[in-house]
Amino acid sequence: MARIQKPEEMFPDIVEDFKKVFADNLISIILYGSGAGSDYKPGKSDLNFLVIISEEAIDHLDQAIETVSRWKKKNVAVPLFMTKSYISSSLDSFPIEFLNIKKNYILVFGENVLKDISFDARHLRLQCEREIKGKLLLLRESYLETEGKQKRVKELIKASITAFISIFNGILYLKGIELPATRREIIQSVAGEIPINPEVFMTCLDIKEDKKEFSSAETTGIFKDYLMQIRKLWEFIDQMEL
């Protein structure tokens, strides 16, 4: 199947398909994440859509099964289906997630439900702390499960680094700093505010993007440095004053 070179190539078709499913209950379709930003890489980047529908339609998602399945075959991730009330009532629970959706998005169809949302600094700081501490515990446990095997350690890094980029966005927002466009710019920006070593996170991105090859010993060393920097992160956020 041919790669989608530009996400906007699919917009007319995806709008038509979901309008057939939900008709007037379709409120908006939004592309978010790397597919909507400068980090997009054809064939590699995820294509993530947020589909806003009415309260009535949200209880009948089975109507979209065939459409979702067909778009999955075109390398489009299963969309996030939400209602407007779900978004407004969830900003205190998931501020990082909504902040990162709002950072990179393209309105494909309908109402711009993200335009005016804002975030309470207290909720955002608390989630940053919870996410960092939780992920640190999980990474330590998961590392032991890898039995030190290089391939599994690399997969652990690949699976976790993107989450820390999202947390960095939350920290920069709390600092009142404009969120940079690319992941590497985000790392550099947050390193200017927190005493962490940006090169460790840059190297983890290299591993995720398969830009460099490392020996087994090097991979282990990188992972240990990674854990040390994450510990510095939680020490900072734990003492952060708003």
pLDDT for residue 42: 72
pLDDT > 90: percent of the chain: 86
Q: Which residues form the domain of 180?
A: 121-239
CA dihedral 79, 6, 160, 158 (to 10 degrees): 130
Question: What is residue 80's three-state secondary structure?
Answer: strand
Same-domain status, 177 and 131: yes
Q: Is residue 2 part of a domain?
A: no
Neighbours of 134 (CB within 10 A): 11
Does residue 1 have a pLDDT over 50? no
Q: Which of 111, 93, 104, 118 is nearest to 48 (CA)?
A: 104
Same-domain status, 232 and 127: yes
Q: What is the CATH number of the domain that holds 95?
A: 3.30.460.10
pLDDT digits (tens, 9 = 90+) for 30-53: 999 888 877 677 777 779 999 999
pLDDT for residue 228: 97
pLDDT for residue 4: 63
Q: Which of 62, 88, 110 is the last residue of a domain?
A: 110
Same-domain status, 55 and 140: no
Q: Is-contact 71 14, C-beta < 8 A?
A: yes
Higher pLDDT, 5 or 104: 104
Domain count, the chain: 2
pTM for the model stands at: 0.87
pLDDT digits (tens, 9 = 90+) for 129-150: 999 999 999 999 999 999 999 9
Q: Is residue 1 part of a domain?
A: no
Q: Is residue 211 part of a domain?
A: yes
Q: What is the CATH number of the domain that holds 233?
A: 1.20.120
Neighbours of 81 (CB within 10 A): 18
Please enumerate in sequence order all residues whose Cβ is within 8 A of that of 144, keeping only pairs 6 or more positions apart, or say none: none
User: What is the average pLDDT across 179-189?
Assistant: 94
pLDDT for residue 187: 97
Same-domain status, 89 and 20: yes
